[in-house]
Amino acid sequence: MAAPFVPYTPDVDICEPNFDENLHTVIEKTERYIAESVTAGGTGRALRDAHAKGYGLVRGEVEILGGLPPEYAQGIYATPGTHDALIRFSNGSPHAGADARLGAATGLALKIFGIRGPTLLEDEPDTGTFDYANINAPVFFCNTVEHYLFIQELFLNAPAYFSQGKPGAHRFFTEFVTGKGTLDQDNWAWDEFLAFLRLSKIPPVNVLLSSYWTMGAVRHGDYIAKVRITPDPSFAAAVVRRTLDPTSAAEVFRPALVAELQERPYAFDIQVQLSTDLERMPVEDTTVEWPEQLSPPVTVAKLRLPQQDISGPENLEKMDALSFTPWRVTAEHAPLGNIMRARKKVYRRSSIERHKLNKQPRTEPRSADEVLGPTQ
């Protein structure tokens, strides 16, 4: 008999000591990095402090399926229907430049239009949009805002470490595990470091072939979940440009994505994995992969990408002007855990600073057509 799903209660979300103080420091570092990136980032404009390099902005459609079991038909997934959407594919690094320098950690940010109900963003409650900001791994390499203080600093300065060859890499790894010398040996960041190594070994593939998870847990109405956006097997089988070699050219991920979408449509499944055991499927420990044998992911919606041309430079311009955050959701889908809670203010302040420096209006679109123009 299957284990019962863990009900959501507010006490699953426990705030760590000194959260607000540490978050303030993270935001200060983030805004400083974004300001400096105008001259140091190599693009002449302010960069995002994560997922700085986008590979393309894609038009999509989300079909919320009918006939779902009641545990899965929660929140926005309780009402079957079709919604326009936009997808931003990106690299996970805070840096721009050649793909070979950035690694194979990638992201899929999804914006769904026409969703009723106020969002959890106090300054834009009635946008009618719903966002996911997912990464191509079922784990993440940071559990607390306290640890993010040194991990953020390491990642923002990673090129300086790794440009020194093996000694620089060793220093990066040592400072990661020891918290730059701030952690007692009994509390070294081994779990987070091992999660980082796992992410660093992801093979480079076409971004259409990766699965993308919410970085941490989220509320799913009456339950607790992680959400995965995973390739529809029948569409994935048709992809021609599959394994990529980032050393073969400065740009490999975007050209492969552009070529595939010019030739054929594509589809992902949006899946929900409900927690059945908070010890083995925890909220606060993002380094733990939730075992599928305890609770297999269930498809609740289809994400369809029509055949389209995203090759022009205007596609990158329009993509750069958009904002995505895991907190642009309704209350039934609230992010859970300290790292997810920190993303609310960090993403907002990052977006405000970046748009100000780039002289871009920071307004939430009401439709995909408003961004990309009507389909021909």
Question: Does residue 78 belong to any structural domain of this protein?
Answer: yes
Which bin fits 181, alpha (ψ -120 to 50), beta or left (φ > 0)?
left
pLDDT digits (tens, 9 = 90+) for 80-90: 999 999 999 99
- What pLDDT score does 56 carry? 98
Q: Are 106 and 210 in contact (CB under 8 A)?
A: yes
Question: Does residue 58 belong to any structural domain of this protein?
Answer: yes
Distance set, CA 292 to CA 47, 121, 246 (Å): 36, 32, 31
Q: How far apart are CA 141 and CA 370, in angstroms?
A: 36
Half-sphere exposure of 333 (CA within 13 A, CB side): 26
Question: Does residue 367 belong to any structural domain of this protein?
Answer: no
Question: Does residue 130 belong to any structural domain of this protein?
Answer: yes
Question: Does residue 121 belong to any structural domain of this protein?
Answer: yes
Q: Is 85 helix (H, G, I), strand (E, B) or coil?
A: strand
The whole model's pTM is what? 0.95
How many domains are there within the chain? 1
- What pLDDT score does 159 carry? 87
- Token couple for 172: 């990066």
Q: How far apart are CA 270 and CA 232, in angstroms?
A: 9
Question: Does residue 68 belong to any structural domain of this protein?
Answer: yes
- State the virtual CA torsion across 372, 373, 374, 376 in degrees, nearest 10: -80
Question: Does residue 376 belong to any structural domain of this protein?
Answer: no
Q: Are 7 and 276 in contact (CB under 8 A)?
A: no
Within 10 angstroms of residue 62's Cβ, the number of other Cβ atoms is: 24
CATH number of the domain bearing residue 315 = 2.40.180.10
Question: Does residue 4 belong to any structural domain of this protein?
Answer: no
- State the virtual CA torsion across 35, 37, 39, 44 in degrees, nearest 10: -110
- What pLDDT score does 2 carry? 61
Q: How far apart are CA 91 and CA 50, in angstroms?
A: 8
Cβ contacts of 63 within 8 Å, gap of 6 or more = 80, 81, 82, 83, 301, 302, 304
- What pLDDT score does 83 carry? 98
Range of the domain at 15: 10-361
Across the 376 residues of the chain, what is the mean pLDDT of every consecutive 10-residue run? Answer: 84 90 95 94 93 97 98 98 98 92 94 96 93 97 93 90 93 96 95 94 96 97 98 98 94 98 98 97 96 97 98 96 97 96 95 96 95 88
